[in-house]
Amino acid sequence: MARESNIVKIVGKENFQRLRSLKCLIVGAGGIGSELLKDCILMGFGEIHIVDLDTIDLSNLNRQFLFRHRDIKQPKSTTAVKAVQHFNNSKLVPYQGNIMDTVQFPLSWFDQFDIIFNGLDNLAARRYVNKIAQFISKPLLESGTSGFDGYIQPIIPGETECFDCTKKETPKTFPVCTIRSTPSQPVHCIVWAKNFLFNQLFNEETSSADETSTDWGTENKEEIDRIRQETNELHELRQIILSKGEERIKDILTKLFVKDIEKLLRIDNLWKTRTKPTLLDQSLIDDASQAVTNETQSLSSMWDIKEQIIQFFAITKKLMQRVHNGETNIEFDKDDEDTLLFVATAANIRSHIFNIPMKTVFDIKQIAGNIIPAIATTNAIIAGLSTLTALRVLNLLPYEPTKRSTDLNMAFTAKASNLSKDRYITNPRLAPPNPSCPVGGKVCRGVIKITQKGLNEIRLSKLVKLIRQKYQYPEEISVIDASNQRLLADFDFDDLIERSLSQVNLHDGSVILFSDEEGTAEAIYRKSLELYIEVIDGSLKDEIQLPDVEVPTVAVPVQNTAHTDHVEEKQGKSVNNENVIELDFDEKSETGAVKRPAPEEAPENALKRARKDKEYVDGLIELD
């Protein structure tokens, strides 16, 4: 084939044959994933597996070109594979499932692949795949886009920065009091209409979830009491919905935008520094209840407040009819026009009375549906960069051999990187792992292979003894089930120590964290070790096999010592140990002493505080 001859010209005959024998995994079959699938086929990978949990939505069709209107509600992965069969020369294997499902996708399943491509759209799954790659030491090509922005990052476990080596922006959340009492932005009103009002009225399963909330975002007892009362009163409004009392929609509007606002205005403390809301004019409600509308206005145009109220009446009637027809649990869906219009009109009416600019339905769809602006060409560019970079990661370019992993390049669009205005792509070299990273820096990783018999018979005490012997841990170590942050054993907790591993609920896919709580007089500690349990068929010597992982020691500086002492220690004058990893210092106190950041706290103190505070992050104990 012509395309194969072109690849042969680039990588050579021998490397092309190797490429044809490789297996790759693509996680995600959306905007980036569908482009990755096409590119990996054209590149010539011998076997391509693709995983996606989702089904196809109408909103996908503008940028995910493997899908058509007839494919809506079909699984993305299997539909994508069917769409590329006419030009495919690889073995394709689709899966519909959650990549974090350890039953469907155990560690041994991941281990079959030579390289992994991430085309995901959520932080939790990205972090999970990143951690799996660290366990199995397989290269990972991470990528993402947002509008015109995009990036790719090759991750070579143990040799380069991993996904968690740099801080990631977390999803924005809002205090209950802001959403329920003092909105100041359109998004506050949209969240109120979508997550609170809509669910209270139309979703029986979530209508009472708000009652148990304790994170109000305020200590104002009067305001908290009002929020609770408002929730209880909305249960009465749900009865209006269930009774199909269309003539009482006016009562819903009056309750939400007149009576509730009157109660808010009585809490004087809320309005000392804020603009007071204005009650919705009752005459607008009365007039809208008599209006007749047969068609919806353009969703991209801005409606005035009168039209918003008229549309609220019309769409609430439609939703009432759906409840009457048996849909007792209607969920918000950005592509369900009825639910979208209800949220949009309710949010805009609330915005109007709080003196916040209203939004078009089209704009609200993007915000309420958590739609990240996506551009098809950006997805194609990033996917192309990812597959081309894979050739260097796999060392398939004879004219550009990869001698060190840090010689590889990541790539950012110019806007995303802020490094250059004169070119579209910037491509800095990869950095080594961040020693402060909870995934790639602070912890050593490996896989425990164990038989089912071993899982049932080996006691936790024996496992701890084996860990001490093989990795030279001291007597005092802690053992945590990192899958659910459960303490199994430490120096003052041994209730479970004589139970078998299965009796302490360890199983295939469990992750155990071992940490040194003792250290030496010189504050040197054995690095923490995180081990993934893989239950295998067959036999093993002693029914268990520990990984050959080097677990170095870490010098943890003591707080409030003289600055000169720290400098000497950092230069190696006070620590004489070849295997010691020196930790960086950063913050200087007013007295000149160097203070160590909280995450670098001595492990024995960290564990004691963690048990008290119950705060565990990413399998490591982190302190707030």
Do 616 and 513 touch, CB atoms closer than 8 A? no
Q: Is there a single domain that holds both residue 574 and residue 453?
A: yes
Residue 130's pLDDT is: 95
Q: What percent of the chain has pLDDT over 90?
A: 52
User: Which candidate, 296, 347, 335, 298, places its Cα nearest to that of 318?
Assistant: 296
Annotation-wise, does 367 bind a ligand? no
The confidence score (pLDDT) of residue 160 equals 94
Report pLDDT for 201.
86
User: In 3D, which of 254, 256, 163 has the Cα closest to residue 201?
Assistant: 256
**pLDDT tier for residue 300 given thresholds of 50, 70 and 90:** confident
How much is the pLDDT for 248?
83
pLDDT value, residue 617: 30
In the chain, how long is the greatest CA-to-CA distance?
86
pLDDT, tens digit (0-9, with 9 covering 90-100), for 74-114: 999 999 999 999 999 999 999 999 999 999 999 999 999 99
| Mean pLDDT computed over 382-408 | 93
Question: Looking at residue 587, what is its pLDDT?
Answer: 35
How many domains does one find in the chain? 3
516 has a pLDDT exceeding 50: yes
Give the mean pLDDT of 465-487: 92
Distance CA 45, CA 516 (A): 44
End of a domain among 318, 342, 368? 368
Q: Is residue 451 part of a domain?
A: yes
- Judge if 359 and 379 occupy the same domain: no
pLDDT of 563 reads 42
The annotation status of 70 as a binding-site residue, yes or no, is no
How high is the mean pLDDT of the chain?
A: 82
Residue 574 has pLDDT above 50, yes or no: no
Which residue is catalytic, options 24, 177, 189, 444?
177
For residue 212, give every residue at least 6 positions away whose Cβ sits within 8 Å of its Cβ, in sequence order, or none.
none
> Do 463 and 608 belong to one domain?
yes
pLDDT over 90 (residue 497): yes
Picking from 381, 408, 435, the residue at the C-terminal end of a domain is: 408
Among all chains, which residue has been given the structure tokens 């990996």? 40
| Torsion angle (degrees, nearest 10) of CA 303, 291, 344, 211 | 150
Retrieve residue 359's tokens: 């939004």
Q: What is the DSSP string of 525-552?
A: EEPEEEEEEEEESS--GGGEE-------
User: Is 314 part of any known ligand binding site?
Assistant: no
Lookup: tokens for 32: 């980036």
> How do residues 200-213 score in pLDDT, each as one tens digit?
888 765 544 444 44
| Token pair of 25 as six digits | 């995994």
- Section 390-410 average pLDDT: 92
The pLDDT score that the predictor gives to residue 556 is: 76
**Predicted local distance difference test score (pLDDT) of residue 206:** 52
Amino acid, single-letter form, for residue 113: F
Query: Beta strand pairing status for 580-582 and 553-555?
Result: parallel
- Is the same domain home to 198 and 293? yes
pLDDT tens digits, 145-175: 888 889 999 999 989 999 999 887 666 677 7
123 assigned binding-site residue? yes
Give the pLDDT of residue 598. 36
Residue 431 maps to a domain: no
The mean per-residue pLDDT over the stretch 409-428 comes to 76
Q: What is the mean pLDDT of residues 375-389?
A: 94
Res 213: pLDDT: 46
Report angle CA 597, 173, 277 to the nearest 5 degrees. 130
Q: Is 394 annotated as a binding residue?
A: no
Name the least confident of 152-166, 226-240, 436-450, 528-542.
226-240
Give the pLDDT band (50/70/90) at residue 268. Answer: confident
Q: CATH number of the domain that 463 lies in?
A: 3.10.290.20
Q: What's the pLDDT at 610?
A: 38
User: Do 466 and 600 reside in the same domain of the chain?
Assistant: yes
Q: Are 101 and 226 within one domain?
A: no
Q: Residue 407 annotated as binding? A: no
605: confidence class by pLDDT, cuts 50, 70, 90: very low
**Can you give the residue range of the structural domain that contains 253?**
176-368
Place of tokens 């070299």: 429
Residues 115 and 97 in one domain: yes
The answer to whether position 129 is within a domain reads: yes
The reply to whether 362 and 471 lie within a common domain is no
pLDDT at 578 over 50: no
CATH number at residue 396: 3.40.50.720
In a domain, 119, yes or no: yes
- Strand ranges of the sheet holding 511-516, from the earlier edge strand across to the other edge: 486-489, 477-481, 511-516, 528-536, 443-451, 544-545
- Would the annotation count 20 as a binding residue? no
How is residue 488 written in tokens?
């199994």
- Mean pLDDT of all residues in 121-134: 91
Amino acid at 578: E
**Of 54-63, 316-325, 486-495, 599-608, minimum mean pLDDT range:** 599-608
381 annotated among ligand-binding-site residues:
no
pLDDT at 207: 42
Is 189 one of the annotated active-site residues of the chain?
Answer: no
The order of strands in the sheet holding 553-555 is 524-526, 553-555, 580-582
pLDDT score recorded for residue 293: 67
Domain end position, chosen among 408, 434, 458: 408
* 126 annotated as belonging to a binding site for a ligand: yes
Tell me the CATH number at 329: 1.10.10.520
Minimum mean pLDDT among 16-20, 168-172, 241-245, 408-412: which range?
168-172
Asked whether residue 613 is marked as a ligand-binding residue, the answer is: no
Q: List CB contacts of 495: < 8 A, sequence separation 6 or more.
A: none
Statement to judge: residues 141 and 185 lie in one domain: no
Look at residue 582 and tell me whether its pLDDT is greater than 50. no
Average pLDDT over residues 582-592: 34
Q: Is the pLDDT of residue 138 over 90?
A: yes
Residue 183 has pLDDT above 70, yes or no: yes
Residue 169 included in any domain: no
pLDDT band at 225 (very low <50, low <70, confident <90, very high): low
The verdict on whether residue 52 carries a ligand-binding annotation is yes
Domain assignment present for residue 424? The answer is no
Helical (H) or strand (E) element with 96: strand 91-96
- What would the mean pLDDT of 399-406 be, rounded to a whole number? 90
How far apart, in Å, do the first and last CA atoms of the chain sit?
59
One domain for residues 306 and 447: no
pLDDT band at 230 (very low <50, low <70, confident <90, very high): low
Whether 456 and 545 map to the same domain: the answer is yes
Same domain, 488 and 352: no
* pLDDT band, very low/low/confident/very high, at 606 (cuts 50, 70, 90): very low
Residue 162, annotated as binding a ligand? yes
The pLDDT score that the predictor gives to residue 324 is: 86
pLDDT band at 410 (very low <50, low <70, confident <90, very high): very high
